[in-house]
Structure 1
Amino acid sequence: MKPIRLPEPPASPRGIGGVGGGGMTDIFEGGVYGVIRRAVVIGNGFSGSENQGLGLVHALGLSDKKTLYRVTRPRGGINEWMHWLPVSVHKKLYIIISQIYGYSRILFSGRGRKLMPVPAENGVAGLSSILEADVKKIVTMARETFDKEGPLLVVASGRDTISIASSIKRLASDNVFVVQIQHPRSHLERFDLVITPQHDYYPLTPRAQEQVPRFLRRWITPREPPDSHVVLTTGALHQVDSAALRSAASAWHDEFAPVAKPLLVVNIGGPTRYCRYGGDLAKQLTASLHNVIASCGSVRISFSRRTPEKISNIVVKELGNHPKVYIWNGEEPNPHMGHLAWADAFIITADSVSMLSEACSTGKPVYVIGAERCTWKFVEFHKTLRERGLVRLLTGLEDMSESWSYPPLNDTAEAASRVHQALAQRGWRLRP
């Protein structure tokens, strides 16, 4: 019998991959031009915001192929009054004022904060190697490496990153796929995909419109309802998934396995303009903990960077010497992931969307304190969590040995799935 000779596969475009330009792997995978193998994350220097971009990239399987850039603002003193300005304008004004007044402490140390000069690079919390976000450099990199590396995924999170991300999309639209996390308010067509919490659209509801003066609506509300390339989430994106929890459970086993159960973890944030509180909430919290502590094996308390000293002092004074209570002192290593993995229940202050979103991804009981002090879109956020059975309001009468559960909040994985779909519509995909 005569052997059958199969035709040779066609060469890869532009001779990419394989000996002599054959590149069979690239041919059957769609070529380098349609496969995203790397990502750029653009953050704003705030962990709650940057964690969303990092979480999405992690869920997409690109954690080992990411570069983190940062849009920074000068902070402290008079700078706190200029955060409503575009970041580029803010920096220029800061430099001009600094030169005129010679870094006057009187001018810049208002509100009890220290002057923070414009950093040459992002030297914050050991992240000195993070690059300042520069549109021209990122665009040039995306264009010049496209033939070899393929398209670039750009994930930006936070208000200050909007202009950077939209400029990258405008200048390199054929080479990038741009995802903006958190609502840009207007001109959503500037991005390939927008990922934002559902409560960001609360300002469009009739109830919210009653609270907003007409002349301010265009500045503080979205201009239009969500369209087909807007992904709505319940809470914030993050890096906590089942694999991360299993890893944390193993890493923190020696410290948490001997701890008496049930273990109650208390995460305390800090007041915001939408959730205003002070020592009164700290006293309410400590009173509730005194009531429920009998049903706990142990209690571990953590403060965030935003927690005012007045609040932490009240908690430490009231509970610091209790034999069942351990208060983390802020020193490394941070036990946050260990808490998420090993806790039997959580109490979390209402101000932090991020902390609540992470806790609700565990499927374990989450109690919220301070929700009645929240206003505006935070009201809608907490209402949604309660309606879905993800959280309950803390009354101080709970028996922490009685457990309850719910389908874990899975916003990050669902958002990642939508990214896959949007890429497929463009004819692109992520590396397998």
Structure 2
Amino acid sequence: MTDAGPVWVLADPRAGTAAQALGIAERLDAPFRVVPLQWGPLARLPWPVPTLAGLGGAARRGIVPPWPRLVLSAGRRSAPVARWLARRGARTVHAMRPGFGAAGFDLLVIGRHDAPPEAPNILPILGACHRMSPRRLAEARAEWSALAALPAPRVALLLGGAVRGEGLAPALAARLARQAAGLGGSVLATTSRRSGMAAAGAVEAALAGTPHRLHAWGAAGPNPYAGYLAWADVIVATGDSVSMLSEALATAAPLHIAETTDAPRHRRLWESLYAAGQARPLRDAPEPFARAPLDEVARVAATIRLRGWA
């Protein structure tokens, strides 16, 4: 490992995108600096050259030496920034497709569902990178130990919603809640930013009489999401969130996917997980099945360490 320069994480304002780069950084066992990115109006353009032009003024002023030895980034908008830093001597590891300049990155971490080409600098993974490490799950299990009082099997119900739309249909949310209740002794339900309040209300009504906990997006108090995953014996997740599905794979719980979108990219993800024995569709009569936790982020971190970049 070289001692020259720090490790930087380029943190996109979208939490799910930033989590991919942060998740890798947290597994390197090396100090790192989080560099918050805010986008200006030019960020919408598909920049073919290394540049800071897409950054807002404050974020651009934060890009100052000493230059990093390693840059971790995720998402198309951060790619030109990472490439700009590569010209100043940094190694670059980027999660997701970068748009232009793919050959210029030292390592691209791309989900198999995005059909990455074979190349020396491409590492295909199942799902996406995330921050739900074994350590974080163990800490969450201790923090949320009160969930052990709920009857087993405990079914974690992870609800997303349309990426661009009016949230998750309440009728669908209620149906999924009833299906989850039928799989175990209690339900640990959570909605996401895209679900909407109507979906949360429908879940609460559908679970009346069933031992459960419901965390609606934006509710006051600590978010039990990691605790739900840590205590889940079974997981039911809507298939519209790559992040939620990937985080669920970090557990040993059987994962049943509710196929709630027609998006080809998401369907490719489901099929890759089914083929690997890591998930099954909820539409089938759910039966217990065994699976080992999937830790693709550890594999990415090991690759970076093996190459001497961290």
Band of TM-score, shorter chain: 0.7 to 0.9
Q: Name 2:225's counterpart in structure 1.
A: 336
Contact kept, 8 Å, 1:42 with 1:156, in 2: the verdict is yes
SS at match of 2:38: coil
Q: Partners in 2 of 1:360 and 1:192 — Cα distance?
A: 27
Q: How many residues end up aligned between the 2 structures? A: 304
Q: Structure 2: which 5+ runs fail to align?
A: none
Query: Which runs of structure 2 are paired with 1:192-203 in the superposition (5 Å)?
Result: 192-201=106-115
Contact kept, 8 Å, 1:248 with 1:341, in 2: the verdict is yes
1:405 aligns with 2:290: yes
TM-score of the aligned structures, taking structure 1 as reference length: 0.64
1:422 aligns with 2:307: yes
Contact kept, 8 Å, 2:168 with 2:195, in 1: the verdict is no
Of residues 137, 140, 163 in structure 2, which corresponds to 1:245? 137
Matching residue's letter, 1:368 = I
Q: Partners in 2 of 1:160 and 1:49 — Cα distance?
A: 10
SS at match of 2:66: helix
* Structure richer in helix, relative to its length: 1
Contact kept, 8 Å, 1:301 with 1:326, in 2: the verdict is yes
1:265 aligns with 2:265: no
Query: Which runs of structure 2 are paired with 1:162-241 in the superposition (5 Å)?
Result: 162-170=79-87, 172-173=88-89, 176-201=90-115, 225-241=117-133
Q: Name 1:213's counterpart in structure 2.
A: none
Contact kept, 8 Å, 1:135 with 1:167, in 2: the verdict is no
Contact kept, 8 Å, 2:163 with 2:194, in 1: the verdict is no
SS at match of 1:248: helix
Q: Name 1:160's counterpart in structure 2.
A: 77
Of residues 2, 8, 17 in structure 2, which corresponds to 1:49? 17
SS at match of 2:13: coil
Matching residue's letter, 2:171 = K
TM-score of the aligned structures, taking structure 2 as reference length: 0.86
Q: Name 1:141's counterpart in structure 2.
A: 66
Q: Partners in 2 of 1:363 and 1:134 — Cα distance?
A: 44
Contact kept, 8 Å, 2:35 with 2:62, in 1: the verdict is no
Of residues 346, 353, 370 in structure 1, which corresponds to 2:259? 370
Contact kept, 8 Å, 1:56 with 1:412, in 2: the verdict is yes
Query: Which runs of structure 2 are paired with 1:305-344 in the superposition (5 Å)?
Result: 305-319=193-207, 321-329=208-216, 330-344=219-233
Q: Partners in 2 of 1:358 and 1:336 — Cα distance?
A: 10
Q: Name 1:355's counterpart in structure 2.
A: 244
Matching residue's letter, 1:324 = P
Query: Which runs of structure 2 are paired with 1:116-127 in the superposition (5 Å)?
Result: none
In structure 2, the CA distance between the partners of 1:260 and 1:308, relative to structure 1 (3 Å rule), is same
Q: Partners in 2 of 1:290 and 1:375 — Cα distance?
A: 25
Q: Partners in 2 of 1:412 and 1:42 — Cα distance?
A: 17
Name which one, 1 or 2, has greater alpha-carbon Rg. 1
Aligned-residue CA RMSD (Å)? 2.8
In structure 2, the CA distance between the partners of 1:279 and 1:159, relative to structure 1 (3 Å rule), is closer
SS at match of 1:141: coil
Matching residue's letter, 1:53 = A
Superposition deviation, residue 245 in structure 1: 1.8
Q: Name 2:188's counterpart in structure 1.
A: 300
Q: Partners in 2 of 1:44 and 1:313 — Cα distance?
A: 31
Contact kept, 8 Å, 2:150 with 2:212, in 1: the verdict is no
Matching residue's letter, 2:149 = P
Q: Structure 1: which 5+ runs fail to align?
A: 1-29, 92-117, 122-131, 143-150, 203-224, 424-428
Matching residue's letter, 1:240 = M
